[in-house]
Structures are given as structure tokens and as C-alpha cells.
Chain A
Amino acid sequence: MKLLTRYNRINLLSTIAIFILSGVAFFFALHLTLLKQMDEDLRIEQREITNYVALHGTLFTPVEVKDQETIIEKTTTPYSKEKFKTVKVNHDDDYRQLEFSIRAGGEWYHVKVRKSLEATEHITRTVFGITFCMILLMLLLTLVINSTILKKLWQPFYTSLDRLQHFKVNNRESLSLPTSTIDEFTFMNSILERTTAKAIQDYERLKEFTENASHELQTPLAIIRSKLEMMMQGENLTEYQFDSLQSASEALDRLARMNQSLLLLTKIENEQFAYKSTIDLTQIVQQKATQFNEIWQDKSLRISLDVQAVQLHTNKELIELLLNNLFSNATRHNYENGIIHITLMQDKLCISNTGHPAALNRKHLFQRFYNPSNSSTSNGLGLAVIQQICTASGFLAEYDFKDGLHIFTITLTDH
């Protein structure tokens, strides 16, 4: 839910609740005040009757007055005290009535003085109506103010949010946010700018470090390899020495390959493969397949190659690296007499292979050094390289597992 919607909702609900409560209270207060006023009027009538009896010793015959009635009845059981109540007359009209007993000429009489409440109710209704209209008007006004002024007030926040959304740490473009006259937004923007600048700096440093480390490793690796190769030439080596030499060489090959992959990842990140040309993907796929053919035959893999004519505007070196990695991957994780399907369509390259009998973890699959099989022949960088190449080329790499086949799909259209 959006901040403004949420705010509007809370604001509206609480305003309505307050207005209803105050409206009810106001209605009762007004009603009671008017009733009290009416009761005062009835008392004045009572006083007039009492004064008349005291003066003349008898009761008078009541006179018809509009909205007022006086009823006098003879009684033997006088009320001990006077009584106010609201009564209905003719089933319809509300009257306020005062009942009291009076003694005139040795006889007890009940006197009921009534006044119509019509006028009072009219006033109450009118006042309540006016108040209700005012409430509606105020609610409407609040809504308008919220949707225009609040929106305007929060505008810098939303602008910052939008720019932040488009911010990428590998773009090397620092985040620049608009200045605001509101302290909180200025503060927030300055923190955002500082944090993103730091993120960019850290990212650049990390890249630089990876590149330097990988480059600096190449020479020591060359020294170790040359020393191992010189030792290999030695006469009269024992079997144990040969085994050790071989293990050391294999480990070194792995290290060298890993370093090469890391270097490649950094180079792609540094956009060192920016040059693009129109390439014949079909031809490259077939070429690569020919190159791998020997290894496939050696492993007795069954290959199906189904390629359409596809031309692509991209970096040739990256495409070759991509195919190398995809093919190597499908070969390495396969078993003897396994299957590899290679399908090239207009906008898609699919490579599926048999191998591990269960699906791989989609979430971590393309991460660096993810190596679920813990296989010593895999350095866990192959898929990371594939992913990086796809990102750099605007492709999309996806993984699926179906009918015992691991399927890697590269969507070739620009994203």
C-alpha cells in the first residue's frame, strides 16, 4: 500500500469517528439544553396557576393557546410532588408535560401543563443538519489537501526513490538526487548519496583487487609449473615421486584455470569485451561442436545438433567463451553414454544434458564457487562466467530440469 493511501485511510477513518462521536454528543447536549429551557417555561405556567389559586381561591377555566394545553382534573389522591415527562398527543406530536397537584376551594386537583416540542425538534434538526454538512465539507477538504499538498510535499522523496531504483553499482554513475528545502529529505538524500558513492567505490576496489590478484598470481603459477616440468624430466624418479608430481601438476592446472576464470569475470565486468560485430552464430556453434566432438566420442555421448541460421550483433569472443563454457559444462557433468541436445533457434540457444539425477539449486546455481557435487574437476566458476557473459551481452540465462535432463536456455534477444 502506498504511503499516501495509507495516510489518507487512517486520516479519513479517524476524522469520521471523531465527527460521529462529537455529532452524537452535540445532538444530546443541544436536546437536553432545549428541554431544560422548556421545563423552565412550564414552571412559569405552574407559578402563574399557583398565584391565581392563592389570589382567587378557585381554579380558572383553561384558555386554548397554540402549542400549549392545560388540563385540570378533580382528584382524591394528590401527587406528592410535581413530575416532568415527554408524552405523545394524538399519537403524533411530542409534548413536554408538567404534572402537579393543587388544592383549591377545599378540593384537590391534578393539573397537567403541556407545551409542544415541535419547535425544539425543528431547531435540533436544523443545527444537526448544518453540522453534518460542515463535516462532509471538511472531510472533502481534507481529502483534497492530502492528495494535492501532501503529494507535493512528498515529491522529493518519491523522486529519490525512483532514482535509487535505477541505480546500479556497476554503472560507475554516482547517484545524484535533487535538493530539497525540507530538512529530513535533504538529510536522507545526503545519506543515500554518501552510501551509494561508498558502494561504488567498494565495488571498484573489489574489481581492481580481483584483477590485480589474478594478474599477480600468473607469474608465480608460471614459476611453479616450470619447476614441476623440470622435475618431471629427472631420471630415476620413484613411483611415489611421480605420483606426487602428477598430483601437484593437476592441482596447479586447476588453480591456473580458476585464476583464468576469475580474470575473465573481472574483464567482462570491466567491459573489456565491448566491441560488437555481426556474427554467424550457426557457424560458431557448429565449429565448437566439431571441436568438442572428440571428447564427446571419447565419452560415448550421443549428441543431437539442431541449428537454424542465426545472425547476431554481439562480441564474438564472448560468444565463443559462452559456448565453450556451456559445452564444457554439459560434457563434464555428463556420464558415459549420456545425451547432449543442442538446439539453436532464432532467439534461443538450448543445451540440455543428462547427468546428476536431481535438479540443481536454481537460486545458487549461477553464483561464483557454487559447486554442489564438490567435484574436483569443477571450479564452480563456469556458470558464473555464463551468467556474466549473458548480463554483459543482454542475454538471459535460465536453468530447468525436465525428464532427467538439465536444460540451460540462453534467450538471445536483448533485455
Chain B
Amino acid sequence: MKVLIIEDEKNLSDSICQYLADENFLCEVADTFDTAMEKISLYDYMCIILDINLPGGSGLELLKELKRNNKNDGVLIISARNSLDDKVYGLKAGADDYLSKPFYLPELSARVAAIIRRKSFNGNNVIIFEELQLNLGDKTAIVNDRVIDLTRKEYDLLLYFISNKNKVISKSAIAEHICGDEMDLSGSYDFLYSHIKNLRKKLVQSGCPDYIKSVYGMGYKLSLS
């Protein structure tokens, strides 16, 4: 699965590449408007991570170019300009999603994965992690042919963890994923604990091993071992 990262900050694109590579994404980087233009006209990507402010031009121009050529690449805008207008404008211009800087890498990864699923399977696919099956169509989790009774938030959490399997996700990243970024929680992430505790309990009761582990006080990680 090829992903193009159009971002002029090498430090940032390196981190994104490294993080996504573990999820079996093949990443390419374009750091100027011209190289990005060249790459999108030559190749097809499953998803393009697009920064708006680029040396040599605006990322929105690239987005328009894609649409002019009837390309079906998924586009996720990452912008330093966090405003509703920019977001609405970007989505209207044909972007699939919008994430404002500074974002959490697990959030970026989950959204890239979601865009790719939508593009390739119209969202009606199933994600499998060991004996766990997540049905994205009707938002259900199944273990050994039995549906686990999860709340909406628990399902979202599980999907988020599976999208970032084997990765430590910080509490703040999880909290922002659950509550959105507008709520000023200011470090009080204690409420997460009960959600995660319930999710783990339900998974274990349905016959799954306890995949979700607490990593020191910092965050959580879903992994086999």
C-alpha cells in the first residue's frame, strides 16, 4: 500500500514514514510543490498526506490537480492553519479528511487506514486481529462467531488500538481521539481508565487473551505478547 507524504519538514515526514512503515505502508516523501506535482502525475497512491504550506506553492493546488485528472487517491490534509474555514475548503476541494498540526501519530495512522479502507472496500470490510473481527459496516466486534456487546466508545477504542497495533499510544492521544480536541481536559485522563478497563474485561470474558496492556503510566499498547 503506497502512501505519499507531501511535507516540507523532513523531521516530520521522517517520523510519519517510520511510524506508518510498521503498519505495512510503503511511504514516499515529496518535500516541494514541484516534486509532489511530478509524483502525483506519475504514480497512484492509496493515500496522500498533504501539507498546505509548501515551498513553491499551495497544497490545495495539488489537490485541485488530482481532481482535474480524475485521480482517486485518498487525501488527508495536515495543516498548521487550524480553522474551520480551511477545513471546510479543503474537504470541499475533495480531500477525504483534515488533521491540524500538531497531531498525534496514532491519530494520523488511524485516519490514513480509514481513508484507505473507504477507498478500497467502500468501508464494508472486516478487520481481523487474531481471533478478533471488527465489522466496519455495522460497527460490531466478533470473537469466535459471538458478537461482543461494546458501547460506541469501546468499539472506537478497539478500532483505534487495532489500527495502531504494537504501538504505545499515549493517554492524551487516546483522550483526544475519544473526546475530540475541543474539550480542554488538561491532563485529567482518569476517565479513560474505566473505559479501557471495561473493554479489556469484555474482551477477556468473550475468550480473547488480554491484548491491551498498560505501559507504565504513560499509555496503552495492543499487542500479542
List the interface of chain A (C-beta within 8 A of B): 215-216, 218-219, 221-227, 229-230, 232-233, 239, 242-243, 245-246, 249-250, 252-254, 256-257, 260, 263, 267, 272, 291-292, 294-295, 297-299, 317, 320-321, 324-325, 328, 331-332, 376-378, 382
Residues A226 and B80 in contact in the complex (CB < 8 Å), given A295-B188, A298-B191: no
Among A216, A219, A267, A378, the residue within 8 A (CB) of B12 is A219
Establish whether residues A272 and B80, one from each chain, have CB atoms under 8 Å apart when the complex forms.
Answer: no
Establish whether residues A245 and B218, one from each chain, have CB atoms under 8 Å apart when the complex forms.
Answer: yes
* Bound complex: CA A378 to CA B19 (Å): 31
30 A-B residue pairs with Cβ-Cβ distance under 8 Å, sorted by A, are A215-B80, A219-B12, A222-B9, A222-B80, A223-B9, A223-B15, A226-B105, A227-B11, A229-B104, A230-B18, A232-B168, A233-B19, A242-B216, A245-B218, A246-B170, A249-B172, A257-B184, A257-B186, A260-B181, A272-B83, A272-B85, A298-B190, A299-B190, A324-B184, A332-B186, A332-B188, A376-B187, A377-B187, A377-B188, A378-B186
Among A230, A252, A260, A317, the residue within 8 A (CB) of B19 is A230
* Bound complex: CA A326 to CA B170 (Å): 26
| Contacting residues of chain B (80-119) with chain A, CB-CB under 8 angstroms | 80-85, 100-106
Establish whether residues B187 and A250, one from each chain, have CB atoms under 8 Å apart when the complex forms.
Answer: yes
B16 interfacial by beta-carbon distance below 8 Å: yes
Residues 176-200 of chain B: 1 if any A CB is under 8 Å from the residue's CB, otherwise 0?
0001011111111011001000000
- The residues of A that contact B185 with a CB separation of less than 8 Å are 295, 328
Establish whether residues A232 and B191, one from each chain, have CB atoms under 8 Å apart when the complex forms.
Answer: no
- The residues of A that contact B168 with a CB separation of less than 8 Å are 232-233
- The residues of A that contact B216 with a CB separation of less than 8 Å are 239, 242-243, 246
Among A230, A246, A256, A325, the residue within 8 A (CB) of B218 is A246
Closest to A224 in B: B102
- The residues of B that contact A253 with a CB separation of less than 8 Å are 172, 187
Among A215, A320, A331, A378, the residue within 8 A (CB) of B182 is A320
Range for the number of chain B residues in contact with chain A: 35 or more
Establish whether residues B182 and A321, one from each chain, have CB atoms under 8 Å apart when the complex forms.
Answer: yes
Residues A267 and B19 in contact in the complex (CB < 8 Å), given A246-B216, A291-B179: no
Interface of A: prevailing SS:
helix
- The residues of B that contact A233 with a CB separation of less than 8 Å are 19, 167-168
* Bound complex: CA A246 to CA B82 (Å): 26
* Bound complex: CA A250 to CA B189 (Å): 11
Closest to B105 in A: A229
- The residues of B that contact A377 with a CB separation of less than 8 Å are 186-188
Establish whether residues B102 and A222, one from each chain, have CB atoms under 8 Å apart when the complex forms.
Answer: yes
B123 interfacial by beta-carbon distance below 8 Å: no
Establish whether residues A215 and B12, one from each chain, have CB atoms under 8 Å apart when the complex forms.
Answer: no
Among B80, B82, B170, B182, the residue within 8 A (CB) of A229 is B170
Establish whether residues B183 and A328, one from each chain, have CB atoms under 8 Å apart when the complex forms.
Answer: yes
Establish whether residues A298 and B194, one from each chain, have CB atoms under 8 Å apart when the complex forms.
Answer: yes
Residues 141-183 of chain B: 1 if any A CB is under 8 Å from the residue's CB, otherwise 0?
0000000000000000000000000011010110000010111
Given known contacts A232-B218, A242-B215, what 16 new A-B pairs fall within 8 Å (CB)?
Answer: A221-B101, A225-B103, A226-B19, A229-B173, A230-B19, A232-B219, A250-B187, A295-B185, A299-B188, A324-B183, A328-B183, A328-B185, A331-B188, A332-B184, A376-B187, A377-B187
Q: Which among A252, A253, A254, A377 has the highest number of chain B CB atoms within 10 Å?
A: A253
* Bound complex: CA A332 to CA B187 (Å): 10
Min distance, Cβ A345 to any Cβ of chain B, angstroms: 25
B217 interfacial by beta-carbon distance below 8 Å: yes
Establish whether residues A223 and B179, one from each chain, have CB atoms under 8 Å apart when the complex forms.
Answer: no
Among B12, B102, B179, B217, the residue within 8 A (CB) of A256 is B102
- The residues of A that contact B105 with a CB separation of less than 8 Å are 225-226, 229-230
- The residues of B that contact A272 with a CB separation of less than 8 Å are 83, 85
Pairs of residues from A and B, 9 with the lowest C-beta to C-beta distance, nearest first: A226-B15, A218-B80, A222-B102, A221-B102, A298-B191, A222-B101, A328-B184, A377-B186, A218-B101
Min distance, Cβ A299 to any Cβ of chain B, angstroms: 8
- The residues of B that contact A332 with a CB separation of less than 8 Å are 184, 186, 188
Residues 1-31 of chain B: 1 if any A CB is under 8 Å from the residue's CB, otherwise 0?
0000000010110011011000000000000
Among A223, A224, A249, the residue within 8 A (CB) of B170 is A249
Closest to B168 in A: A232
